[in-house]
Structures are given as C-alpha cells and as structure tokens.
C-alpha cells in the first residue's frame, strides 16, 4: 500500500485533524478527507466528484486506496457510482432515493407506485426547544427551533401526520409558504436551499392511539391504532439536524424494511 510522503504538499497534519486518527488505515484517512470536502460543499449534491486518478494524485496515494475509500462512501450512501460516467455526490432529489427514509408502502404496490404524496403544511413556527427536543438535537433547552407540522395524503386519503423540529440557525428563512411551494422531497429542499444534507437516520417505532387531534387531521376514529415513528436524522459527522415524529395509518399501508 502506498504511503503519503512526509514532504507531500497535498496533505498536512491539519488536513487530518478531526477526520480520522493517524493510526487508522490509509484508505480510512482518505475517506475522511473526501468526507471533509463533501461536508464543506466543495462538491454539491448531484455533482460529480473528481476521478479516482485525480484524487489519487491530489492525496498522493494509490488509485486502489482511493477506490477503497470511495467504496465505503458508496456503501454509506454518500456517493453514487454510475457506470461509464463516474462517481456523484448522492442527493435526495433523485427518484430512486426519495423513499430511502420513508418505509410506508401501500398494501397493493411499491414505494412511489401511488405517485407523489399530496402535502399540506399545517403549521411552521419558531419556538423554544423543550428539554427532550433539545436533547435529541444536541441543543440547549430554550434554544430556538423550527416546528413544522404537515399531512401527507395518498390518493386523497390523509395517511401520514408528521411533526418536525429543526435547529433554527441552519434553516433561517424556512417558512410554511416556502415548504408549500417546493414540490420535491423535503430533504432535497434542505440540500438545495440550506446546504444541509441528511445522510443517515435512526428510528424508534411503537403503536399509539389517534388522540390529541391526530384523529382529526388523519380523518380516523378517535383511538384508532397508528404506527408512531420517531426519527432523528443526521448530517455529516453525526450532527443531528432533525427530529421527526410521524403517525402512520396502516389500514391501507404497511411498514416495510429490508435488513442486510
């Protein structure tokens, strides 16, 4: 495995600071440097990154080392390889990944087979973070957050009620009107308008009754069982950027996940 010459002008100790430990495998160090470029916005979502040969020259390592680093980034869904075209920064705007974090599937179809959801923005307001919201978003209690409530309908039937909390600073200027006028996925809006990319998420799932007004928005009987999904979505470097609590009707849909 090729080593990085100590005199190389391409890298310095500062390049590795905060990325990966110096004792990690070389490809992991290169992965960390590419990740820093993704995080800084050097290559935007949907854009091609430099070729393996160019990156190998940039970091003064072998092309095989770069390939292994990119393989891991692709496995993490941070980049996408396209045969004969190169490697591109993954984006939530692409059709085949729009349902990556939405696991609710119609009983008689596949994700997306119903067409795009009809979205109603019920509310979008700024408020002070409660203790549990602050904890989930790594904020301090009382810090400013945005709360968004929306209903997603399929074939005219309200199916998903979602409450979202976002740290206010990165999403300055986000309004109900802006959300309503954007016709793509919400995470694509976050990418293009606010330079925030959700790269992974963690979920907790439980059953809860339709109460506290949820039954009115989802047009079901009070007490109807709903699938409750709480999600924390993270951007690069595991920074939490969204807390989302969704309530799903399951009379015509089911939660589907593939475990590898």
Does residue 200 contact residue 234 with C-beta atoms inside 8 Å? yes
Looking at residue 93, its pLDDT comes to: 66
Which residue ranges make up each domain of the chain? 13-89, 100-255
Averages of pLDDT over runs of 10 residues in the chain (260 residues) are 41 45 79 89 88 93 93 88 88 55 72 76 96 97 97 92 96 94 88 90 93 95 95 93 95 77
Does residue 26 contact residue 227 with C-beta atoms inside 8 Å? no
Q: How far apart are CA 169 and CA 146, in angstroms?
A: 9
Looking at residue 155, its pLDDT comes to: 86
Does residue 216 contact residue 181 with C-beta atoms inside 8 Å? no
> To which residue do tokens 């089911």 refer?
254
DSSP H stretches of helix in the chain: 13-16, 26-40, 52-59, 63-75, 131-136, 176-181, 186-194, 214-218
Q: Does domain 100-255 have CATH number 3.40.1410.10?
A: yes
Output the pTM of the full model: 0.75
Q: How many CB atoms lie within 10 A of CB 190?
A: 23
Alpha carbon separation from 155 to 118, 177, 203, 229 (Å, rounded): 8, 23, 26, 22
Looking at residue 76, its pLDDT comes to: 83
Q: Could you tell me the two tokens for 209?
A: 């009754």
Architecture of domain 13-89: Orthogonal Bundle (1.10)
């Amino acid at each position: 495995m090729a080593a990085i010459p100590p005199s190389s002008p391409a890298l310095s100790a500062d390049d590795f600071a905060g990325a990966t430990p110096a004792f990690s495998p070389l490809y992991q160090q290169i992965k960390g440097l590419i990740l820093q470029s993704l995080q800084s916005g050097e290559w935007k979502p949907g854009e091609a990154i430099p070729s393996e040969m160019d990156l190998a020259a940039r970091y003064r390592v072998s092309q095989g080392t770069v390939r292994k680093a990119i393989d891991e980034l692709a496995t993490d869904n941070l980049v996408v390889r396209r045969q004969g075209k190169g490697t591109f920064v993954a984006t939530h705007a692409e059709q085949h990944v729009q349902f990556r974090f939405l696991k609710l599937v119609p009983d008689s179809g596949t994700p997306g087979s119903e067409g795009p959801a009809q979205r109603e923005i019920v509310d979008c307001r700024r408020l002070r973070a409660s203790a549990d919201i602050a904890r989930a978003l790594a904020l301090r209690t009382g810090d400013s957050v945005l709360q968004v409530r929306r209903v997603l309908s399929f074939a005219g039937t309200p199916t998903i009620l979602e409450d979202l909390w976002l740290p206010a600073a990165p999403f300055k200027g986000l309004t109900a009107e802006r959300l309503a006028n954007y016709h793509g996925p919400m995470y694509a809006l976050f990418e293009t308008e606010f330079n925030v990319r959700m790269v992974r998420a963690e979920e907790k799932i439980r059953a809860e009754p339709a109460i506290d007004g949820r039954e009115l928005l989802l047009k079901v009987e009070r007490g109807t069982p709903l699938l409750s999904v709480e999600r924390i979505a993270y951007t690069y470097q595991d920074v939490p950027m969204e807390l989302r609590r969704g309530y799903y009707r399951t009379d015509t849909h089911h939660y589907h996940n593939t475990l590898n």
